[in-house]
């Protein structure tokens, strides 16, 4: 019998403030910038995005998604011995957003009458931008396989609205805030049961300049720009090829082919990237979970948001094989193949 990390539950959360394309276009027009709902939809597939209110942090979004995930799994905070949060927009420089999330889950558990919470288990962040959730899944899977963890809460949470340049119409229309979570727990079987079948993660720093937020904190002030910049054409050209490569690599690792994939759950970056990748893998768009129209690019949160949507709507069913993949600044990319 082989040890696997199986998906025990999923959860997601979008902040209440929903911003339609028309709302954003009105703001851009007031700044003297031209845009339109038609232009945004045609180029990106995005119709809405959610923005967190002032005072709402990545850990708050992660907390809501995590509670829904634990509820779906029938688990309590005390069952979790590992928390990994994938985020590029943490609450603070340190401690990690995962540590803050752990404390919030513990406080909520104690308030609900439990004698213990999630405190004591390992908790840390992973920063790989839009590939972050796949990176976090890979790390959590490895720790469960080796016995270092039994029950891992893997979260993607972002408040990208805080780092957007609303004078740049090519980037500010793309991103939104949100969080998604997956609970992985140890199981054992002969290879035909549920679990993470393989993961594949990579990076190449020479492409770092095409998608970045180059500012940092030093001497009590921001040094450099704290706002996101992107070369959209360069990202698109690089992303499609890398997504195809990592998809084929993870399938080969698992001894599977494209024909074995029931659902593709890609990073919800741009509908053109998603459809191009599906076409290269010979997967019809009907087998791709698409939620980008409802929340835009939520970076590390987008894969778990889409995955939770697919599970809760009944599209993704037990026993089916799911391919997750993403690309992000760094440049990073990766994939995970699992059987629900």
Q: Is 69 a catalytic residue?
A: no
292 and 317 Cβ atoms separated by less than 8 Å: no
74 and 103 Cβ atoms separated by less than 8 Å: no
Q: Is 297 a catalytic residue?
A: yes
Q: Give how far Cα 316 sits from Cα of 203, 234, 311, 312, 320, Å.
A: 29, 33, 5, 8, 7
| Token duo for residue 146 | 């080796």
Q: Which of 21, 50, 130, 141 is catalytic?
A: 130
The answer for residues whose C-beta is within 8 angstroms of residue 292's C-beta and 6 or more apart is 44, 45, 46, 268, 269, 270, 271, 274, 302
How crowded is residue 260: how many other Cβ atoms within 10 Å of its Cβ?
A: 15
Q: Which of 172, 270, 297, 309 is catalytic?
A: 297
Q: Which of 50, 57, 207, 267 is catalytic?
A: 267
Distance CA 76, CA 233 (A): 45
Q: Is 57 a catalytic residue?
A: no
Distance CA 14, CA 216 (A): 27
The answer for residues whose C-beta is within 8 angstroms of residue 166's C-beta and 6 or more apart is 27, 28, 31, 172
Helix (H, G, I), strand (E, B) or coil at 253: helix
Distance CA 130, CA 164 (A): 15
Q: What residues are annotated to the active site?
A: 130, 267, 297
């Amino acid at each position: 019998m082989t040890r696997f990390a199986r998906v025990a539950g999923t959860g997601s959360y979008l902040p209440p403030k929903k911003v339609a394309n028309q709302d954003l276009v009105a703001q851009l027009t007031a700044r003297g910038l031209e845009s339109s709902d038609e232009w945004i939809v045609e180029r990106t597939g995005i119709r809405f995005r959610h923005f967190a209110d002032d005072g709402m942090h990545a850990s708050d979004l992660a907390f809501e998604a995590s509670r829904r995930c634990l509820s779906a799994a029938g688990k309590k905070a005390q069952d979790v011995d590992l928390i990994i949060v994938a985020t590029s927009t943490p609450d603070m420089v340190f401690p990690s957003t995962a540590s803050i999330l752990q404390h919030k889950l513990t406080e909520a558990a104690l308030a609900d009458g439990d004698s213990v919470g999630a405190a004591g288990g390992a908790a840390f962040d992973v920063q790989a931008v839009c590939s972050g959730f796949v990176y976090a899944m890979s790390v959590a899977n490895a720790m469960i396989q080796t016995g270092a963890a039994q029950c891992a809460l893997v979260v993607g949470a972002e408040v990208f609205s805080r780092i957007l340049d609303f004078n740049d119409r090519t980037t500010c229309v793309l991103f939104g805030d949100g969080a998604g979570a997956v609970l992985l727990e140890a199981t054992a079987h002969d290879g035909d049961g549920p679990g993470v079948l393989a993961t594949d993660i990579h990076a190449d720093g020479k492409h770092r300049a095409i998608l970045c937020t180059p500012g940092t904190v030093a001497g009590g002030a921001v040094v450099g720009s704290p706002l996101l910049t992107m070369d959209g054409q360069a990202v698109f050209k690089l992303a499609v090829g890398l997504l195809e490569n990592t998809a084929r690599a993870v399938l080969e690792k698992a001894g599977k082919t494209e024909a074995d994939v029931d659902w593709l759950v890609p990073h919800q970056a741009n509908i053109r990237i998603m459809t191009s990748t599906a076409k290269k893998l010979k997967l019809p768009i009907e087998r791709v979970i698409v939620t980008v129209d409802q929340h835009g690019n939520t970076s590390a949160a987008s894969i778990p948001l889409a995955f939770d949507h697919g599970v809760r709507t009944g599209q993704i069913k037990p026993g089916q094989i799911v391919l997750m993949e993403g690309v992000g600044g760094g440049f990073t990319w990766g994939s995970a193949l699992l059987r629900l």
